[in-house]
Structure 1
Amino acid sequence: MPLSSISIVYQDHDLLVVNKPTLLLSVPGRAENNKDSLIQRLNQNGYPDALIVHRLDWETTGLMVLARNAAAHSELSRQFRERLVARTYTALCWGQLAARQGQIELPMRYDPPNKPRQTLDFLQGKTARTYWRKLSTHESHTRVELSPHTGRSHQLRVHLNALGHPILGDPLYAHNDALNAAPRLCLHATTLDFYHPATQQPLRFGCPAEF
């Protein structure tokens, strides 16, 4: 598959920063018809050394960092594991958020009967924390900045839905009105801050949402 849909934001000998398009897996799925992915396209189109460090959902767009050697992969993985990487997302969520900012702390777990959905679980769920800040208010929705403290699968989608403000265009969690309010999931990884794996220089990348 072509690389044209993936924008290379930055590259050097140790890492790549890319802007992932929507409807593209970060890594290949298990099914034979689900092999097309960001890492596969990069590996086959000029970046055979690219290694996945973290993921974005199939529908989510935005910034991802990839390593280009084993040492960089180990160091970047450590930064994610120790929560040294700062990320913000832009989202459009249903309705009007009353406060200007807030924090969501609701434990989550995988929901096997409803794969690939996640669910809230106050007994067996893993800690999940999201900070949010209102950017602008519109007639039927609110534009928000989201900062995940933890990195649970679907965390931002589940947390906003739990508040009664699902992300527009979300096929897994949004009610029909919110689902039909946008042609795609309105969730974009906007900024990414981390330390260069070789030099430890602080790096910051930004990529505005296109919705």
Structure 2
Amino acid sequence: MLANKVLFFDGEAIVIDKPAGLPVDPPRDGSLSLENHLAGLTFGFKRWPQAVHRLDRDTSGCLLLSRNPKAHARFQQAFEAGLVEKRYLAVLDGVPEGESGLIDLALSKISSAEQGWRMRGDPKGKPSRTAWRVLAVRDGRAFVEFRPETGRTHQIRVHAAEALGAPVVGDPIYGKGGKESLLHAASLKVPRPGKEPIIAEAPLPERFLKAGFTLADISEGKATISSPLGED
């Protein structure tokens, strides 16, 4: 299934376009996850590739897999050092004020018996920063580009809902929920000392086109923003 979703491939790395709905980690209910597809991504190696980072189940797009332990360690170090550039696209249920900016909202985890666990803005939480810019607005929804500078769980989803006041369309925790989440990991760039960087770009999913947003909106974005990028 995922062999035709490969965006980048060499001797130490694979980047796939992870489909929305596929969890990276095996769910408790035993349903399918990325692990069930790894045997089909060996491409001649005996060792299965391993996910270097995580994308939420309902988030599609660029996911980096390592092909050997040494490469895995180097890639993880690049994420931890904030050297990895990641770019996300989302459709928000609402329109933020302004056209671009930098969200600086620390996050912490909370849990309750009724709602389970979730993340929230918390001055005492872990520092979390996300650059954003509006690409287009239609029918009360905004098409937004996000470039996370830090790598917290649910960072973009919480920042959209709490800092911008407009959650990701389809978000079941921080928004109204729905059939599909409109959050997509559009591109990834991983530096490699002594080698060409890993660069991958995932095509805009069909569900974004159905929502009325296209690639033309990306090239015609309202604002530009310069910011160092990092792990999400």
Q: 1:201 aligned to 180, 184, 196, which one?
A: 196
SS at match of 1:45: helix
What runs of 5+ residues in structure 1 fail to find an aligned partner? none
2:128 touches 2:155 (CA, 8 Å); kept in 1?
yes
- CA-atom RMSD in angstroms: 1.8
Amino acid at match of 2:36: Q
Cα distance in 1 for residues equivalent to 2:3 and 2:118: 27
Distance 1:166 1:46, change over 3 A: closer
Report the equivalent of 1:102: 101
| Structure 1 residue ranges, 4+ long, deviating more than 3 angstroms after superposition | none
Query: 1:4-59 deviations in whole A, cap 9, x for unaligned?
Result: 58611121110101000011111213x2x2352113311x2242420121000011
Cα distance in 2 for residues equivalent to 1:115 and 1:142: 29
1:6 touches 1:21 (CA, 8 Å); kept in 2?
no
Report the equivalent of 1:157: 157
Report the equivalent of 1:20: 18
Cα distance in 1 for residues equivalent to 2:53 and 2:73: 12
SS at match of 1:201: strand
Report the equivalent of 1:118: 119
**Count of matched residue pairs:** 199
What runs of 5+ residues in structure 2 fail to find an aligned partner? 209-232
Q: TM-score, with normalisation over the residues of structure 2? A: 0.80
Q: 2:181 aligned to 181, 185, 205, which one?
A: 185
Q: TM-score, with normalisation over the residues of structure 1? A: 0.88
SS at match of 1:117: strand
Amino acid at match of 1:126: K
Cα distance in 2 for residues equivalent to 1:185 and 1:46: 26
